[in-house]
Structure 1
């Protein structure tokens, strides 16, 4: 601090930040996690961080898939319902991932979704000679990566079978 002519007021203030050891400034490229859990060792802290990161990614995905965006929590029962559905869906995702991990498939939820997204159900429509219309609906053939996931889950690689409807 530089005092003014009278000595009663400051004419200028200069300061400099001192880097804190173990911070991003002194150790760039290193994760610096902060927590109020002072009894945790670094492995527990890292596992928890990775789990929370994964949880956030799955929730973000599920909220979109379940049509829960945007969510307006103007009423308590809406917030509770939103939380219940999201936690229930997350438990379902974890069950699927656990089953897949037992078969050596250890992908992120977003990767699994992207892999399975390529398979779809298609409807072919045919006009019949009697004036009616035949609709045939079936799933496309599963690619090898998709079939591996279905097999690990014990699921049919051609869900829904073939449905024929005459209208």
Structure 2
């Protein structure tokens, strides 16, 4: 006959109290609970931002085979992230605590159209016009210092061959 015996480790007994709870652990003993939580939420914001950027900018999957192209791909991602954080920071300084995903969703309804046409002299015209911004758009633009989002641009970009 074979006997099987086991003993629950002391650490497991202590942790059983936390079963079903979300636990964030760190090896840094100098941080307060508030600082640990702030760092954790910062990490989740960064992850959400990169997920959004990868989707919106078409930055995944990465099929680059040359190191310079991979570096360029990463550079654009980091540059876009800095822009995103700058927008959030500027809005926070004005008392607006919306996340990037909320800002992006709000502004996605403000459209800009480009019309290309060729005149009788075979000149190619580019005409860009913004739609009328809604109250929410204007609020964000004002806080970010974006001026004249309705500006109409008309450029002659070349001649048809």
Tell me whether the two structures share a fold, i.e. TM-score over 0.5: yes
Aligned length: 151
What is the rounded CA distance, in whole Å, between the counterparts of 1:110 and 1:124 in structure 2?
29
What is the rounded CA distance, in whole Å, between the counterparts of 1:37 and 1:20 in structure 2?
23
TM-score, normalised with respect to structure 2: 0.72
- 8 Å Cα contact 1:141/1:157 also seen in 2: no
Gaps of 5+ in 2: none
What is the rounded CA distance, in whole Å, between the counterparts of 1:70 and 1:105 in structure 2?
33
What is the rounded CA distance, in whole Å, between the counterparts of 2:71 and 2:128 in structure 1?
38
Task: Say which SS state the counterpart of residue 27 (structure 2) adopts.
Answer: coil
The structure where helix makes up a greater share of residues is 2
Relative contact order (alpha carbons < 8 A, sep ≥ 6): 1 or 2 greater? 2
Considering only aligned residues, what root-mean-square deviation do their CA atoms show, in Å?
3.4
Match of 2:146 among 146, 151, 155: 155
Q: 1:116 to 1:30 in 2, by over 3 A?
A: same
Match of 2:110 among 114, 119, 132: 119
Gaps of 5+ in 1: 5-9
Counting only pairs closer than 5 Å after superposition, residues 74-153 of structure 1 correspond to structure 2 as 75-122=66-113, 137-153=128-144
Q: 1:43 to 1:137 in 2, by over 3 A?
A: same
Q: 1:155 to 1:20 in 2, by over 3 A?
A: farther
Larger radius of gyration: 1
What is the rounded CA distance, in whole Å, between the counterparts of 1:27 and 1:115 in structure 2?
40
Q: 1:14 to 1:146 in 2, by over 3 A?
A: farther
Shift of residue 32, structure 1, vs aligned partner: 0.5
Listed one character per residue, the Cα deviations across residues 102-128 of structure 1 (whole Å, up to 9, x for unaligned) are 222111000000000011023679xxx
Shift of residue 160, structure 1, vs aligned partner: 4.6
What is the rounded CA distance, in whole Å, between the counterparts of 1:68 and 1:29 in structure 2?
36
In the alignment, does 2:52 pair up with 1:61? Answer: yes
